[in-house]
Structure 1
């Protein structure tokens, strides 16, 4: 079952489907056929995808999970360090914050106060010792922080978490989703890099991490989802229409039928799944 909001996001920009690469006639033709199978009107205008899609998806998932998994919370644009498994990344960032300016100003204020108060020489000497100790500590701390590096994660387009009973504890991230309306060579690496970093930097259980897309071309779907291990799978917003589109479009030559076979292999291996599969899986977590 497709996402209920999928067709509302589809439209034409300059006469071309907003899933298509307008410089590639085959991509445009495939997009038109997909929209036709989805029932998208030929005069449907293109919308601003990113903003509307993420809000529509959060609303839809929260509504559908309310009955089967009311303990789950779905959000958009959340930082990974907001969650239990990645909270240490925020701690390192806070440790790296440079407060040397504030410390220097406070020490200078202390010196001036002591001087005006007419204190003895020994007190001034101890103040200098304190200042030197602070400078030495900072000179040692900075190289150590640089050796630790500055690993970071981009915000999660969609996050699904389980809140803890105690407000003092970070919520537990159970799923993160990377939204890619369409795919190009330069867009393929983002979800992979994000997934690999989430696996490497976590402390505790790895959240379910997947890409969600409306891309119709088997070639790009395979490049993103076949065998990298950085993603659990790809979810398509309207897989039934895409299956019908691929079966109709990729015929007549060996190269085309090969792409059709690759596509069906991805579906059979569950590397490419329907949006409904996402809802069902989340309800089990």
Structure 2
């Protein structure tokens, strides 16, 4: 733009053309300034952290005191969906939760895993209370609970009783919850 201004000043241009060129240059300069303000605002909002790659997120709009014209979203809940669990998938959920905790700017959002995993030992990998995952939501917890009770009933074998006891501990401590509870919770947000 400076070069165009110098060019128009150095060459004999018609007054009408010179005024038109100056008007266009002022408009371009104004648009560049506005774009820079928007870019700066977006950089302030986004920060420098990497994406968490969550499967489902729930956010609420909050007031932006620095740039009121730019809407801010506050993450209130994040969910990692896993139909079944393997040790690597469980580790993926835990690392997402740990990263979310490290990158948060204020209150920690609710972070949970949603799964259909039938094996209590795999559910315990996430739900035992590492702190990376708040809880595990199971898509049909009543059916899983009934199946475990049926599998473990009428036996004195310690291994089966241990399975039932560990599952009950997860359930009683609310480390594993039914999917319907998740639906109610997200509806309240």
* 1:173 lines up with 2:75 in the alignment: yes
Task: Rate the CA distance shift 1:203–1:159 in 2: closer, same or farther, 3 A.
Answer: same
1:258 maps to what in 2? Answer: 162
**Structure 2 residue ranges without an equivalent (≥5):** 1-42
Root-mean-square deviation (CA), in Å? 2.0
1:203 paired with 2:159, answer: no
| Structure number, greater radius of gyration | 2
Counterparts of 1:200 and 1:89 in 2: how far apart (Å)? 17
The Cα offsets for residues 175-221 of structure 1, whole Å up to 9 and x where unpaired, read as: 00000110111211011111011111111121110000000100010
Q: Structure 1: which 5+ residue stretches go unaligned?
A: 1-86, 93-150
Asked whether 1:91 is paired with 2:47, we answer: yes
- Give 2:58's match in structure 1, choosing from 149, 153, 160: 160
- Structure 1 residues 201, 215: closer, same or farther in 2, change over 3 A? same
Deviations 1:111-138 (A, max 9, x none): xxxxxxxxxxxxxxxxxxxxxxxxxxxx
2:85 is aligned with 1:183: yes
Aligned length: 141
SS of 1:156's equivalent? coil
**Counterparts of 2:104 and 2:171, CA distance in 1:** 29
CA shift for structure 1 position 152: 2.2
CA distance in 2, matches of 1:216, 1:89: 41
* 1:182 match: secondary structure: coil
The structural deviation recorded for 1:281 is 2.1
Match of 1:231 among 122, 133, 155: 133
Instruction: Give 3-state SS (helix, strand or coil) of 2:129's partner.
Output: coil
Partner of 2:172: 268
Q: Residues 167 and 178 (structure 1 numbering): CA distance in 2 closer, same or farther, change over 3 Å?
A: farther
Using the TM superposition, give the Cα deviation of residue 89 of structure 1 relative to its aligned residue in structure 2, in angstroms: 8.3
Counterpart CA distance in 1 for 2:94 and 2:45 is: 20
Check conservation: 1:163, 1:172, Cα contact below 8 A.
Answer: yes
CA contact (8 A) 1:210 1:232 kept: yes
Shift of residue 282 of structure 1?
2.5
- Higher RCO (C-alpha 8 Å, min separation 6): 1
Q: Which residue of 1 aligns with 2:147?
A: 245
